[in-house]
A and B are shown apart, each in its own frame.
Chain A
């Protein structure tokens, strides 16, 4: 079974400042990693995902994340945030496809990003 820990429940940051949202995972097998964003009163939408290959992944809205296997981390970064980035961000993990039949995507508890004007 896999698990996800998001180290910060809330992150306030000033507009145009950089931000990092931290995510660590635990799994006994190889994994795929995802970041989803939830705007108020909406469902979640995918920001980016790591499946294999380059450890630096770029997503929508200027976000990027770096997969670090030795530290079992997948931190999300943006060099300059906007008011419109205010939302809740979820890190998620699933097992690498193996044919063994685990089809579960496990989410972290979320980090609320508040961008201050």
Chain B
């Protein structure tokens, strides 16, 4: 059982380039989310989705886009990368939208923007 799979694991971009971080889960989870982790800052929520076709903003959404066309996939798009977006990105999912549920995390994608 693969769980939450993120690709790529590492990426280096130049300022202004665009890219998509992929996230896929095989647990039929309704809820999916993206966090960024920066030293001393903990994890901050970027965007989340409570089901296919539904997305919403988290704490730090600026500079990022998401879409949810299927239950399994929740890609995160950087349209014009900036050095401030250098971070480790985590995708996480849970069975339903209830706040009681456990989040299952991917292994992370480390992004460096030069």
Contacts and interface: CB of A to CB of B under 8 A. Distances in A.
Contacts of A102: 99
A51 B103 contact: no
Interface residues of A, number: 27
B107 A109 contact: no
B43 A90 contact: yes
B42 A90 contact: yes
B99 A103 contact: yes
A102 B108 CA distance: 25
A103 B50 contact: yes
B105 A43 contact: yes
Nearest to A36: B103
A102 B107 CA distance: 26
B21 interface: no
Interface in A35-80: 36, 41-46, 49, 51
B34 interface: no
A36 B42 CA distance: 12
Interface of A: 4, 6, 9, 32, 36, 41-46, 49, 51, 90, 94-97, 102-110
The 6 closest A-B pairs by CB, nearest first: A43-B105, A94-B99, A109-B42, A107-B43, A107-B42, A46-B102
Given A4-B42, A44-B90, A105-B45, 18 more contacts: A32-B99, A43-B4, A43-B90, A43-B106, A51-B100, A90-B43, A96-B99, A97-B99, A97-B100, A103-B31, A103-B97, A104-B48, A104-B58, A105-B33, A105-B99, A105-B103, A106-B45, A109-B40
